């Protein structure tokens, strides 16, 4: 009898045998709320572990000529970032007395840093030619001696804040949508530092910064399709899609020096706008617990963020810029607690 009582209490604590998917029983009303059906259901906290890779256009920093003839066989050197860990943390509040709209506020942190290097053992037709559009002014020789080696360190620091106001509702028994709007603001700081060495061991250094700070309106929709349930658990496919238009400031500076006189390109900064788009898709698991006082969910999927014209390089002597997109993509694991 004691074992049966304990088992019953355990089942009651972690949820009833009926499906506790994130939906209310349709009472015939339009747009029935899709939020977790728990007794309190006002606050939620959540965190994500991200494993992303930065893919930045315009990272060609050198051209190697490894053909001694006049054919000029050239190989471009590019910076390829590795996957790095990051995180998101957020908190939300459900407006129960206002048709169950909810507001969410969260922060995203990500860092990427990558080194690359190259070297030619013997003189070639074009030797080791500096790349990157912003650094074409860097000479390809020092006192008549061609460059034969170089290295670069490229870092990206991503800090972003998001605020959303939205409402989730049932489209059908198994499908729910949550349209939302809000604000996105933050910074993306890119720093580039490198060195070149000539065959006569003379050196040139170069550095550049591309710091973006901006804010603007955002809009999106979250979708969820429940495909199965077992006892007190529900399983679903989800897809979250969104975008933002952001007005911001790019703080841009480039310089080089060493055995040659230092040359600095100032006044490259500008105020412009940019567009960003993002998507997060995968599998989700949900369950109520603590006598239906709390709700837990976990999601695992693929996430991608596209930042258009994020890297803005300046070619000295020209009146236009070279703009390149930044993409952050990889796996995201999300856990959330509603209480």
**What is the pLDDT confidence band of residue 211, given thresholds at 50, 70 and 90?**
very high
Mean pLDDT value across residues 114-129: 66
Q: How far apart are the first and last CA of the chain?
A: 32
pLDDT at 11: 39
Tokens 């206002």 belong to 98
Helices assigned H by DSSP within the chain: 2-14
Please give the average per-residue pLDDT across 199-211, as a whole number.
Answer: 84
| 245 Rama class: left (phi>0) / alpha (psi -120 to 50) / beta | beta
* Cα–Cα dist 105/100, whole Å: 17
pTM of the complete model: 0.82
Instruction: Give the chain's domains with CATH numbers.
Output: 32-338 (2.40.128)
User: Nearest 10 degrees: CA dihedral of 72, 194, 214, 163?
Assistant: 100
Place of tokens 């605020």: 163
**pLDDT of 65-75, one tens digit each?**
655 555 556 67
Query: pLDDT of 181-190, one tens digit each?
Result: 999 999 999 9
Q: Give me the pLDDT at residue 294, please.
A: 81
């Amino acid at each position: 009898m004691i074992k049966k009582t304990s088992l019953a209490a355990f089942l009651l604590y972690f949820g009833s045998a009926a499906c506790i998917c994130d939906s209310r029983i349709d009472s015939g009303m339009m747009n029935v709320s899709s939020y977790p059906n728990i007794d309190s259901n006002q606050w939620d906290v959540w965190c994500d572990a991200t494993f992303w890779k930065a893919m930045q256009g315009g990272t060609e920093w050198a051209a190697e000529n490894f053909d001694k003839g006049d054919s000029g066989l050239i190989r471009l050197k590019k910076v390829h970032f590795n996957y790095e860990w990051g995180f998101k943390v957020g908190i939300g509040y459900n407006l129960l007395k206002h048709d169950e709209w909810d507001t969410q506020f969260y922060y995203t942190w990500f860092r990427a840093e990558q080194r690359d290097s190259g070297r030619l053992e013997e003189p070639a037709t074009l030797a080791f030619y500096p790349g990157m559009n912003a650094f074409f002014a860097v000479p390809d020789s020092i006192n008549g001696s061609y460059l034969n080696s170089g290295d670069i360190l490229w870092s990206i620091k991503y800090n972003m804040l998001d605020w959303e106001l939205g409402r989730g509702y049932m489209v059908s028994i198994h499908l729910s949508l949550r349209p939302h709007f809000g604000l996105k603001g933050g910074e993306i700081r890119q720093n580039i530092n490198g060195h070149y060495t000539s065959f006569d061991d003379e050196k040139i250094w170069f550095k550049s910064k591309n710091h973006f700070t901006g804010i603007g309106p955002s809009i999106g929709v979250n979708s969820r399709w429940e495909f199965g349930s077992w006892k007190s658990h529900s399983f679903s496919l989800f897809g979250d899609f969104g975008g933002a238009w952001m007005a911001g400031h790019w703080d841009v500076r480039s310089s080089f020096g060493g055995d040659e006189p230092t040359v600095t390109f100032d006044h490259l900064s500008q105020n412009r706008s940019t567009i960003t788009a993002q998507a997060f898709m995968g599998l989700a698991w949900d369950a109520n617990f603590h006598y239906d006082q709390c709700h837990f969910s976990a999601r695992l999927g693929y996430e991608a963020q596209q930042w258009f014209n994020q890297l803005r390089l300046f070619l000295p002597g020209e009146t236009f810029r070279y703009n390149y997109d930044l993409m952050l993509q990889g796996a995201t694991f999300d856990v959330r607690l509603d209480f």
